[in-house]
Each structure stands twice: as C-alpha cells, then as structure tokens.
Amino acid sequence: MQVYKEPIMKNSLNSLTLLLPLFFLFSCSAPKTAVEETPPTVSKNTRTDISATAALSLKEEFQPTADKDTNANSQSCNNEQVKLTSDFAAGRMDECKRTGEYEYSITLVPENTPINSSPWYAFKIQAKQVTDITITMKVQGDKHRYPPKISRDGNKSWQLQDYQLKGERLIMKVKASPQSVTIAAQEIINNQYYVDWAEELTVQSAFTQSILGLSTQGRPIYKIESRDENSNEWVVILGRQHPPEVTGALALFPFVETLLSQSELSKYFLRKYNVLVIPNINPDGVHAGNWRSNANGMDLNRDWNDFSQIETQLINDYLKGLVAQGQKIKFAVDFHSTKNDIFYTMPVDYGVESSYFVRHWLGELDRQMPNFNVVLRPGNNPNLGVSKQYFSDQFGVHAITYEMGDNTDRTKIKRIAFKSANILMINMLSETDHDKE
C-alpha cells in the first residue's frame, strides 16, 4: 500500500545536504530558556468534552475562532503588477515592503520570545506579466534555518529555490508570472493534508479516524487507531508538536503506512498490538505558520509535566482512560526535525521495562542500513516536560523522539521510516529477551 502522496522534491533536493551552508545550525530538542516560562493557567472547564466532539462530522467545515485574514501574520505586498500574499493555511510573512520597482523586503517575526530558532515562512507570488523580482528576507532577532523551496504546481512538488546569503539577509530572484508560485521554508503540509492522508489510509486499512478533541482555537485534533479486541497493548505515535518540523511529518507518514500496510508482518503485528496515531497535535500552530508554539504561545513538547494546554491534556486524558480500562501503553514514538537525524532515547538503565528494547531495535536498523548512521542520544530530563520522558515516567516504558534532519534527502527519510517500522514490528513480535543486552 502506498498511500502517502509525497510532495515531490525534484532531483536537486535529493542532494540537498551538499548545497547547504553550515550556518543552518539549530536544534529542535535543545532546551531553550523558553522552557522556564510560566505557562498560562487553563481552567479545567475549558477542556474539550470528548463525548460531545465525537459527534462532530470529520468533514464538517471548520470555523476558526481566530480569522486568518485578521491575523497579524497575514501580510501582503500588493500593487498593480505584483502580489505577495500569505493569507492561506500555513502561510506566514510577518512584514512585507516594496523597496524598489521589482524589489521586495520580507521580515519574519516569531510568535513569542525567547523561542527555538525555526523561522517559518510561506507566501505566494503572482504577477500580471512575467517579471523578475528580487526578494530580501530577514529574520527579526534571529537567523535563517530553512533554505527556500519553490512550488509552481499548487504545492504538489517542490524544488530548491536559488538564494544568496549576505550577512543575515537571504536574497532570492524569482520569476513571477500570472501563474502563482509558492515559496516556503519547507514543503507545506497543512491541516487539510493530514485529513486527506488519513482518509485515504483508513479506506485501505483497518484503521479508523476520529476526533480526539479540539485545539485551543477549536480545530480538530484527529486520532487514527487500529484496535484488535484481543489485544490490550498499545504503540503510540505522535507528530507535529512543532509546526515547522516538516521532515518529521515526512517520516511519520511512511512509518505509519508501513505499520498498517497489511503485509504479513503488519497483519500479525496488528493482531498483537493496537496502534494509536495522533499525527498533528498542534493544528493551530500549523495553520498560523508558527515557529514552535501552539495558539497560546506555548511549546507543547515542554508541557508533558504541567498539562497546561488543551492539546497535551487531551492526549494525557485519553491515554489514562485507556489504562483505566485495563489497556497497557507499550511504546511511543514522537516525530520531530532538527539539524541532523537523531534518535533521542531513554537510557538503558532508566528502569523502564525491556531495558534494551530500543537499543535492539535501532541497533538492527543500523546494521540493515549501512549507508545510514543511526545516532542514539539517550537522555533523562525529568523536568523538561517532553513527551518521551512522560511516557517513561507515566507508563514505565520506552519512548523515543524520532528526529529527521531538516535537509535530509526526502527519499532517504522514507527508506529509514520503512525500515525502522518493519524492524520495530519484528522486534516487538520476537521472543528476544529485551532485558538483556
């Protein structure tokens, strides 16, 4: 089964790492000072009533409480000849100025500070006639992380856009035409993309999609489940806590598709284990083109201790509900992106069950992919509020943060996901004693 319609990255992007200057050096998981911010209190009665939302149709037209068109993120440069706009889902261009006849200046501004350095942008360009324009893009108080991509076919396929860096300014020349083009930090995977993906997936598998609850601004947060009545053990898969971390999403899709592929291995696996996938935890942040946060300006992957946000509360409540029904959380994978491909794990001696389970799994991945260097980074950070730690502390099991590099070859991301999902299934079905090295 091949469900995931990959936003196609043309040839040049498959050797992307070679083209990138070294200054795109950022980490998604590095704790930043933002961690110390006091979260706003969310009273319990703002929680979503799951039983009520379950009645919502999945296809129901969404009415956001914050209208994008009145959103400060929505800016445009609009004159007779050329139009630059960001008033679409996941669009972002905080300021736009026309600085010359064919010259434009864009400034990117984070939703709050301090913040992880992941300046997101996405805007469309259209011109009355074919015109070469020059765009200079700078980031307020920060540097660029993502080299620009361009789509000329309505965000289906993407290519690297040529650019130059002069100090902190990123400069690109774009051929604008009546046919609109999109420039973005990474391939655009917006909220609708997830819904379409999951609908296609559930048509072809035993998975079901439903609404777990509503985000801060009232957007649906979907869950996809495969549940066998004879099984009570769960693998949990999470994604998109951090909106710009698109390569994490590009890994989650094939990973989940492999688990659900109905291959002999998958069928066997799904008889033994239930799977819960929450692919898009932060739909408000994704819609707004946020660098990091949800609609309240909170980093969700620092909220798994406090549960001050509806998005993390919903998942915590749901998992605890499962456990209260006698179900067992067995393992969790949370998909992200950072500079390089890294698997953040819990230490072998942390005291969770099956101490060597992750080491066995990813060790086998390393053996089976000689051209891919599997980097394990064990860590224990009890007060940080990351999901990985939550799963280990709350349920006594392993969990990992699965990080794909921002610029990792897109085909390679798929290969790694396919292999790692297959080996995970074998590992979880084998008789191997994971308490021993």
Longest dimension (CA), the chain: 70
The phi, psi pair for 379, rounded to 5°, reads -160, 155
Q: Which stretch in 107-115, 241-249, 347-355, 373-381 sits in contact with Zn ion by CB under 5 A?
A: 241-249
Torsion of CA 296, 297, 302, 307, to 10 degrees: -10
State the DSSP string of 363-375.
Answer: HHHHHH-TTS---
388 binds Zn ion (CB under 5 A): no
Q: How far is the CB of 268 from Zn ion (least distance, A)?
A: 32
Cβ pair 268, 227 in contact under 8 A: no
- Do the beta carbons of residue 358 and residue 398 sit within 8 Å? yes
Please identify, using beta-carbon distances, which residue of 336 and 410 lies nearer to Zn ion: 336
* CB 276, CB 208: distance < 8 Å: no
Residue 136 host element (H or E): strand 131-139
- Binding window for Zn ion (CB under 5 A); candidates: 238-246, 281-289, 323-331, 409-417: 238-246
CB closer to Zn ion out of 28 and 417: 28
Asked if 224 is part of the footprint of Zn ion (rule: CB under 5 A), the reply reads no
Whose tokens are 């040049």? That residue is 12
Are 8 and 159 in contact by the 8 Å Cβ rule? The answer is no
- Cβ of residue 50: shortest distance to Zn ion, in angstroms? 26
Q: How far is CA 361 from CA 295, 343, 350, 370, in A?
A: 36, 11, 17, 15
The structure tokens listed for 95 are 């300021």
**Residue 127 or 332: which CB sits closer to Zn ion?**
332
* Choices 64-72, 234-242, 269-277, 418-426; region in contact with Zn ion by CB under 5 A: 234-242
Stretch of residues binding Zn ion (CB under 5 A), selected from 174-182, 217-225, 237-245, 356-364? 237-245
Question: Least distance (Å) from Zn ion to the CB of residue 385?
Answer: 13
Residue 145 touching Zn ion (CB under 5 A): no
Cis peptide preceding 148, ω within 30 of 0: no
Q: How many residues bind Zn ion (CB under 5 A)?
A: 4
- Of 106 and 404, the one with the shorter C-beta distance to Zn ion is 404
- Given the complex with Zn ion, which of 355 and 407 has the nearer CB atom? 407
Q: Distance (Å, rounded) from C-alpha 294 to C-alpha 283?
A: 8
Nearer to Zn ion, 28 or 236 (CB): 28
354 vs 387, beta carbon nearer Zn ion? 387
Q: Does 242 bind Zn ion (CB under 5 A)?
A: yes
Nearest to 242 by CA among 160, 185, 163, 161: 185
Min dist. Cβ of residue 242 to Zn ion (A)? 4
Site for Zn ion in 300-359 (CB under 5 A): 336
How far, rounded to the nearest angstrom, does the alpha carbon of residue 279 sit from its chain's CA centroid? 8
Which of 28/259 has CB closer to Zn ion?
Answer: 28
The whole-angstrom separation of Cα 437 and Cα 44 is 44
Residues 6+ apart with CB under 8 A from 272: 228, 231, 233, 428, 429
Binders in 25-64 for Zn ion, by CB under 5 A:
28
Q: Does 292 bind Zn ion (CB under 5 A)?
A: no
Which range in 14-22, 24-32, 40-48, 405-413 contacts Zn ion by CB under 5 A? 24-32
Count of other CB atoms within 10 angstroms of residue 58? 13
Query: How far apart are alpha carbons 237 and 399 in whole angstroms?
Result: 10
Nearer to Zn ion, 84 or 300 (CB): 300
> For Zn ion, which is the closer residue by CB, 106 or 386?
386
Residue 138 as a binder of Zn ion (CB under 5 A): the answer is: no
Region from 23-31, 99-107, 137-145, 194-202 binding Zn ion, contact rule CB under 5 A? 23-31
Instruction: Tell whether residue 201 is a contact of Zn ion (CB under 5 A).
Output: no
Of 79-87, 195-203, 244-252, 324-332, which part binds Zn ion (CB under 5 A)? 244-252
Binding site for Zn ion (CB under 5 A): 28, 242, 245, 336
